[in-house]
Amino acid sequence: MNVFDPNNFSSVPGVRCCDCPGCFLTMPTQLIDGTTTNYSDLTAATNALADQAAPGCFAEGRPQGSETRTTFSSSFSSGTLAVDSAYTASGDGAQDKVLSFVSLTVADGLSVVYNITSDAFIAGCIVALYQDDGTTLVDSVSGTAPFAGTFSPTIPADGNYYIRASNGGLGATSTTISLSCTGGASLSPCGVRAAYDDGSGGTSYVICT
């Protein structure tokens, strides 16, 4: 992880062009954590990234309950953002959520090939697209696991959007979520960072690397 100076992008190793203001998935994230309140300090933010940011740094995940994550990865290659998550829970109610933040255009659109499985017949599986305010739903598809298909929402305007997928969870002890997202040459995934109070009334960030 790198401590991030928001006023000096060149000081951060590995920061890509799209990792600029307006194109970060900033944790805590309302669509997963239910809040956007900063983490209390650098340690809390770093621990949250280590626990919730996918290797590859293009997704956040938050399984619920007593779990062992067996797979969590994100990658971007040849115009395709891939996110994969799998875990097992010791109790009854394995619920997983994954979230990515991407730049999209109306002209190129978005296509998400999804596959959500579980070891139980569960309802409430959802793949959804939200506007960058984190609350306004653009479109979604829902069903019962196993739940697979292609989600192709209409993009209302050029800009940044959240892609969120989750399973219903009730009755399951293991689950997988697999997403393959394409959006033409314009699709650009945003990196993950965590916000924390800097101790003087401001906000600092830790970037997933």
Burial 91-103 (b: 16+ CB within 10 A, else e): eebbbbbbbbbbb
**The whole model's pTM is what?**
0.87
Beta bridge partners of 88: 68, 174
Check: CB of residue 197 under 8 Å from CB of residue 38: yes
- The number of distinct structural domains making up the chain is 1
pLDDT band at 95 (very low <50, low <70, confident <90, very high): confident
CATH number at residue 105: 2.60.120.380
As a whole number, mean pLDDT of residues 17-46 equals: 84
Check: CB of residue 194 under 8 Å from CB of residue 46: yes
Instruction: Give me the domain span that covers residue 203.
Output: 2-7+16-207
pLDDT digits (tens, 9 = 90+) for 172-189: 778 889 999 999 888 999
Check: CB of residue 165 under 8 Å from CB of residue 113: no
DSSP-derived 3-state class of residue 52: helix
Amino acid, single-letter form, for residue 2: N
93/128: higher pLDDT:
128
Check: CB of residue 93 under 8 Å from CB of residue 106: no
Q: For the chain, give the percent of residues with pLDDT over 90.
A: 61
